[in-house]
Structure 1
Amino acid sequence: MNTTNALPGHRQASRMLLYTVVLFLLYGLLPGTLVPPAEAILINNGLTHVYAVVPGGTYDGELLIANPDTSDVTLLLYLSDYLFDAEDTIEYGDPGSHARSNAPWITIGAERVTVPAGTERAVPFRISVPDDPSLTGTYWSLIMVEPLPPEEFQEVDNFEEVTDPTFIIRTIVRYGIQIITDISGTGEPALQLSGARLALEPEGDGPTFVVDVANLGTQWINPDTWLELYDLQGTQLAIIPGDGGRIFPNTSVRQRFFLPPLESGDYLALLVIDGGGQHVFAARYTLRIETEE
């Protein structure tokens, strides 16, 4: 009895080896550099598309997708929401999952397209902004472009015909193209700083100044950030660039500034967040450095 029950389970486990394991990487949104596989596609007109819109307006765009490989590639296109915070939490929600999602406004021209080897294909999309006068500020989402595995890696339906199960690991790069819509003449970013501290991190030669930046406003901001370091006499010691990066409404990022080696003592720091125009924010801090003798 035990043997009879165990046999189907064993056969089922063997069949599972036939499935392709796909590791998805979101390309173009995360910090750092990803090296795409040889068959990766190219988005020739950028991974960010920004539109100034008005309620009730309709706007057409397109994705220019190139296939530099020697084989045809079939792509799946779909919409996804996108949220993140300073704790490195990233959420890819269903379209319309939060109040500032514009995914319900977007229609993609095709859900599945094939790009022949060595060619480029334009995939249109349309943004239909609701005729709602209460809309204000920035709304955004992602168009995901996912290469599908070729036929030789598709799942097998008839396991009884398979005599040599194979376990396959295949990496697929999934592209996320940000579609950002700004309601013209409305919205302002409102930044809140928190958690300012000194930390020791392996990337730096000295202590690291860390601060979280949240956008409590209604408009996105893509600022340059830097930290100006002074001694107590006002002599400037260094200008240290930060990570920058987009901060959408109700999201946050963590900024890190790698300080140079410093002697023990107190220092003055001026944090500057420059989003262009009137969107410039600054904060002053006193830093106490204590080094071991």
Structure 2
Amino acid sequence: MMKRVLILISLILQFCFLHAGIVVLNGLTHSYKVENGKVYKGKISIENTGSNPQNVKIFLQDFTYNANGTTSYTNLHTNNRTNGDWIKLNTNLVTLKGKEKSEILYEITVPDKAVDPGSYWSVVIVEPVEDIKPSDKKAGVNITSVIRYAIQVITDYDSEKAKPDLKFEGVKVEKQDQNQLVKIAIANQGNLYCRPTASIEIYNRKTGEKIGNFSSLPMGLLPQTSKSFDIDISKVPPGPYKAVIITTDEDENAFALNVELEVKND
């Protein structure tokens, strides 16, 4: 029985390896400080980790997200701060052999005329194209799901005259995967991309004793978007607390909020 199990595991691993897909090698966020009339060049490095040839299509879309978990990919010009018209891809389709690497090149041509200071962005979608094969077992076709990547291309124009404007939209405590999390919804109502971090100082509501200081990971926040910054407070015993929430961006601009929290057993 053990031998059969090992053989089965081996076959599953081989199947997964043979059907591995496209991966992006040089990051999912590409940022530039730009000036009027200048051209900037970039590249997206990809690899086919599988053994079979793979077609990949490449195209531009607009992109936004919200703290409630929704993410929207839409046609260009949906976002009034899109830079999709500034970006030219060198190709819209590539074919990679098994284990082959390739580079997708792009140019960003900033308009000659002045635009409003701040961040402009779009995403380059890298999407493997899977063959749709007729099914021998049942009517219709089998469609294989694929993982596609969205690479943000962010251009900051005249950024010295722009700034993020961070606002707290909501705070709640939730249990998730056996962990107690403080979920802090933060919106960027300004016009400049930033990477803030949220932290929380927790105090006993009755005695004022400081229980601890906990922080989130930094996350990118585009203008007119919001995200949930999750902080693990599993070490805090159940009970009522006072807390100070502070969010700080990379330029050390800080915003604070006093709240009351209730950490429950369930």
Following TM superposition, the consecutive aligned residue runs of length 4 or more in structure 1 with deviations greater than 6 angstroms are none
Partner in structure 1 of residue 186 of structure 2: 213
1:230 to 197, 203, 222: 203
| Structure 1 counterpart of 2:242 | 268
Contact 2:184 2:228 (8 Å CA) reproduced: yes
RMSD of Structure 2 on Structure 1 (CA)? 2.8
SS at match of 1:104: helix
User: In the TM superposition, what are the counterparts of 1:144-163 in structure 2 within 5 Å?
Assistant: 144-150=125-131, 153=132
Residue type at the aligned position of 2:127: E
Decide whether aligned partners of structure 1 residues 45 and 54 sit closer, same or farther in structure 2, where only a CA change above 3 A counts.
same
Query: Is the deviation greater in 110-119 or in 213-222?
Result: 110-119
Distance 1:111 1:244 in 2: 33
Shift of 1:263: 5.0
Aligned to 1:27: none
* Alignment check: 8 A CA contact 1:189 1:218 kept: yes
Q: Which residue of 2 aligns with 1:86?
A: 67
Q: With CA pairs under 8 Å and 6+ residues apart, which has the higher RCO, 1 or 2?
A: 1
Aligned residues: 248
Structure 2 stretches lacking a partner, 5+ long: 1-15
CA deviations 1:4-30 (Å, max 9, x no partner) are xxxxxxxxxxxxxxxxxxxxxxxxxxx
Q: Would the aligned equivalents of 1:137 and 1:186 in 2 still touch at CA under 8 Å? A: yes
Q: How far off its partner does 1:222 sit?
A: 1.1
For the pair 1:256 / 2:256, whether they are aligned, the reply is no
Counterpart-to-counterpart distance in 2, 1:38 and 1:46 = 22
In the alignment, residue 157 of structure 2 is paired with which amino acid?
A: I
Change (3 A) 1:36 1:223: farther
Distance 1:64 1:204 in 2: 38
Give TM-score scaled by structure 1 length.
Answer: 0.75
Displacement of 1:132:
2.8
- Partners of 2:39 and 2:224 lie apart in 1 by 26
Q: Is the Cα–Cα contact under 8 Å of residues 238 and 262 in structure 2 kept in the other structure?
A: no
Q: Secondary structure at the match of 1:192?
A: strand
Give the direction of change, closer, same or farther, for the CA distance of 1:231–1:114 in structure 2 (3 Å limit): same
Question: Alpha-carbon deviations, 1:143-201, whole Å to 9, x = none?
Answer: 00111124xx3579xxxxx99745414121111111111114331000111233x4443
Other-structure match for 2:104: 123
Q: Quick one: distance in 2 between partners of 1:85 and 1:221?
A: 15
Aligned 8 A contact 1:74 1:113 in 2: yes
Q: 1:178 aligns with which of 152, 164, 174?
A: 152
1:41 aligns with 2:14: no
The verdict on how the C-alpha distance between 1:61 and 1:235 changes in structure 2, with shifts beyond 3 A counting, is same
Task: Measure the CA separation in 2 of the matches of 1:83 and 1:264.
Answer: 37
Task: Choose 282-291 or 63-72, whichever is displaced more.
Answer: 282-291
Q: Given that residues 82 and 90 in structure 1 are in contact (C-alpha distance below 8 angstroms), is that contact kept between their aligned partners in structure 2?
A: yes
For the residues of structure 1 that align with 2:184 and 2:71, how far apart are their CA atoms? 19
Instruction: Letter of the 1:178 partner, please give it.
Output: Q
TM-aligned CA distance change 1:38 to 1:235, over 3 Å: farther
Contact 2:57 2:129 in 1 (8 A): yes
- Conserved 8 A contact 2:18-2:51: no
Query: Given the two structures, how large is their TM-score scaled by the length of structure 2?
Result: 0.82
Native 8 Å contact 2:117 2:191 kept in 1 = yes
C-alpha separation in 2, matches of 1:203 and 1:39: 28
> Aligned letter for 2:41?
D
* Aligned with 2:255 (options 271, 281, 286): 281
SS of the residue corresponding to residue 221 of structure 1 reads: coil
Structure showing the higher strand proportion among its residues: 2
Aligned AA (2:86): W
Measure how far apart 1:36 and its partner are: 9.7
> C-alpha distance in 2, partners of 1:155/1:120?
30
Gaps of 5+ in 1: 1-34, 157-161
Residue of structure 1 equivalent to 2:91: 110
Are the aligned partners of 2:134 and 2:140 in contact in 1 as well (CA < 8 Å)?
no
Letter of the aligned partner of 2:248 in structure 1?
D
Deviation at 1:129, TM superposition (A): 1.2
Q: Is the 8 A contact 1:36 1:173 kept in 2?
A: no
Query: What is the CA distance between 1:44 and its match in structure 2?
Result: 1.6
Select which of 140, 143, 147 maps to 2:121. 140
2: distance between equivalents of 1:137 and 1:127? 16
Quick check: 1:205–1:261 contact (8 Å CA) kept in 2? no
The structure-2 alpha-carbon separation of the partners of 1:168 and 1:85, relative to structure 1 and needing over 3 Å to count, comes to: same
